[in-house]
Structure 1
Amino acid sequence: MPVLNIAMVGSDDLAREIAKPTDQRDVHTYVHKESGADGPRILSIIRPAKYPERLRPFLNALSAARVGIIEVQRIDATLGEALVAFASSGLTKGMAIINAPEGEWVDEEQAKMLFKQAGLADWTFAQGDGIELRTILYGFMDDIADELRANAEAPLVIPVDQYFNVKGIGLVAIGYVQSGTVHVHDELVLLPANGTGNAKSLQVMDDDVPAALAGDRVGLALRNAKEDHLGSGTLLVRPAVEDKKTNTSIPLAVIAHERSTIHLQRSP
């Protein structure tokens, strides 16, 4: 089923209006599932609870997301940093909700100008209850439906953000499927260590599943993998294929980054 991952900077109260909380660690997650014309579809909100004190969970949320939510409670440096981060991550589709604390006020026109200057002019300024906000988010999902389908058919890439040993199961790695589809029994390569492993079993939302698609947060029980080949930021990909008999050549989904050049431009 299609999943729309949404990076959110905002309060727990607002997130709970939109979706049901599921995981409440450094990154809080909230899920809402409903039936659409083509079957069930899911909104998955990823909220770094300790942002701005801790940056890494925020960056993890941005890397997994396709759209964003920012709750504008005040105009300050934290808002500016968040705007730059969303824009730099290419999340040009999203929703802003102005919600100033009691006794305070936020100038909506000033907020819109800041979004525009950061490169987020296409974001929607919204208000209303959870039902209305979900409707907007499902509209975003419809807008990028072709992109989501294409991403599920792309080469497999899973960035790992947690890993641990479970008694009776073994080594488990957890992360969002960035692209592609992983199946039970798939052979995997663990980069950059170049280790190998096999997907013994998969779990999505605490349910055993035969496959996990792009957008899913998946737990993989790994067979024949070494724990020292895993780390925060490890990438799971399929092995390269070189078959001279069938003239088949499929490279790894990612390559080592050696050197690049970045050209900076002033914001509008």
Structure 2
Amino acid sequence: PERIAPLFYAISMSQKILLIVDQMGPAFGETVLMLDSLGEKDGMVILRNFIDKDQIMPFIKGTVVDGYEFLDDDKNALRERLLALSEKIKTSYDSPTGTMPVDHFFNVRGIGTVVLGSVAEGTLKKHDELMVLPGEKTAQVRSIQKHDEDFDVAGAGERTGIALKGVDVEDLDRGTILTNDKSIKKVSELSAMARIVKYWPSPLKEGMVLHLGHWMQFVPARVQEVLPEADWHRAELKLKLDKMLVFRPGAKAVLTYPEGGKLRVVGTIDLP
């Protein structure tokens, strides 16, 4: 896409990847790097326009896409494969805590604030009290819907609509995190180890404005200091964020540089 954020959002929300390759170019390369940075190992590839596997192998070797299954371009066979996959997915509802990033939110007359998203971790239940991060508010789960049907619980990977009590749409944004997991952190400054993709042309410099992608968050971050290792493709970065980043300790975020022209995926950064 013209903007890098929609590519990040689409891959970040995915459980299994279906990669359609209909031309070789910067967009294909950037998609492969984003898939690799997000660690999306479970995927399928369909080739079109007479592109064959030998043509793309040099560009995917050593990335997660190298392990994807290659399928014929047959819509009926693909439909059957996806239906079979959906039947195999088993969602656990055993976790005492849950976390859901918000990607849409709106007010419904007679119901109040409704949010949409995919549960990232654990389980959310009706009547749960959730922190609304990065702010200080809390909200109660009034009701849960999946595919327009009411449920008492939603588990990891499920696309979910939740009606909330105690929070207004003005308190929300794309990327807002709903959670009752007390281990979740929120920071406005970060000092962490970054791994730069091998295709990146030069070392990162102080003053650059990168974007950190994690869950449905896409946060601008200014580089305050770069402490390179022997190989500048590994460096400890000190970053000042435009707004708080919410994450589980030990997670990783994707680094992007929207002003990077044909290459905007910078690499990944470990979250402390």
TM-score normalised by length of structure 1: 0.65
Residue 126 (structure 1) aligned with residue 68 (structure 2): no
- Structure number with the bigger relative contact order (C-alpha 8 A, sep ≥ 6) is 2
Structure 2 equivalent of residue 97 of structure 1: 46
Equivalent residue letter for 1:94: G
What is the CA deviation profile of residues 159-197 of structure 1, one whole-angstrom value per residue up to 9, with x for unaligned ones? 001111111111111111011111111111100002111
Q: Which one-letter code corresponds to 2:169 in the other structure? A: E
Name the structure 2 match of 1:189.
Answer: 131
| 1:59-98 alignment, distance < 5 Å | 59-98=8-47
Would the alpha carbon gap of residues 132 and 218 (structure 1) be closer, same or farther in structure 2, given more than 3 Å must change?
Answer: same
- Residue in structure 2 matching 1:266, options 198, 210, 216: 198
Residue type of the partner of 1:264? I
For residue 261 of structure 1, report the CA deviation from its aligned partner: 1.6
Residue 196 of structure 2 aligns to a residue whose secondary structure is coil
1:218 to 144, 160, 168: 160
- The CA distance in 1 between the partners of 2:144 and 2:85, in whole Å, is 28
- Checking the alignment, whether the CA contact within 8 Å between 1:159 and 1:236 is kept in structure 2 is yes
Query: Measured at CA, do residues 136 and 121 of structure 1 come closer, stay the same or move farther in structure 2, by a change above 3 Å?
Result: farther
| Structure with greater proportional helix content | 1
Alignment coverage as a number of residue pairs: 197
Query: How many angstroms apart in 2 are the aligned matches of 1:253 and 1:135?
Result: 40
Measure, in 2, the Cα distance between the counterparts of 1:140 and 1:93.
Answer: 12
Q: 1:159 to 1:152 in 2, by over 3 A?
A: farther
Give the distance between the partners of 1:94 and 1:112, measured in 2 at CA.
15
Deviation at 1:85, TM superposition (A): 0.7
Identical positions, percent: 29
Residues 113-166 of structure 1: per-residue CA shift (max 9 Å, x gap): 3222444210111115345335655787799x6xx6569737411000111111
Alpha-carbon RMSD: 2.6
Is the 2:143–2:164 Cα contact (8 Å) retained in structure 1?
yes
SS at match of 1:86: helix
Counterparts of 2:51 and 2:115 in 1: how far apart (Å)?
A: 42
Residues 118, 159 of structure 2: 8 Å contact kept = yes
Question: Could you tell me whether the CA contact under 8 Å between 2:93 and 2:153 is conserved in 1?
Answer: no
SS in 1 for 2:182: coil
1:109 aligns with 2:54: yes
Residue type at the aligned position of 2:46? I
- One-letter amino acid matched to 2:65: L
Q: CA, structure 1 residues 95+134, in 2 after alignment: closer, same or farther (shift >3 Å)?
A: same
Conserved? CA contact 1:151–1:179, under 8 Å: no
Question: Which segment drifts farther, 224-233 or 127-136?
Answer: 127-136
d(CA) in 1 for partners of 2:35 and 2:162?
29
- Secondary structure in 1 matching 2:167: coil
Q: Mapping of 1:16-31 within 5 angstroms?
A: none
Residue 256 of structure 1 corresponds to 186
Superposed CA deviations along residues 214-255 of structure 1, whole A, max 9, x for unmatched, are: 1111111111113333111100001xxxxxxxxxxxx61411
Kept after mapping to 2: 8 A contact 1:152/1:214: no
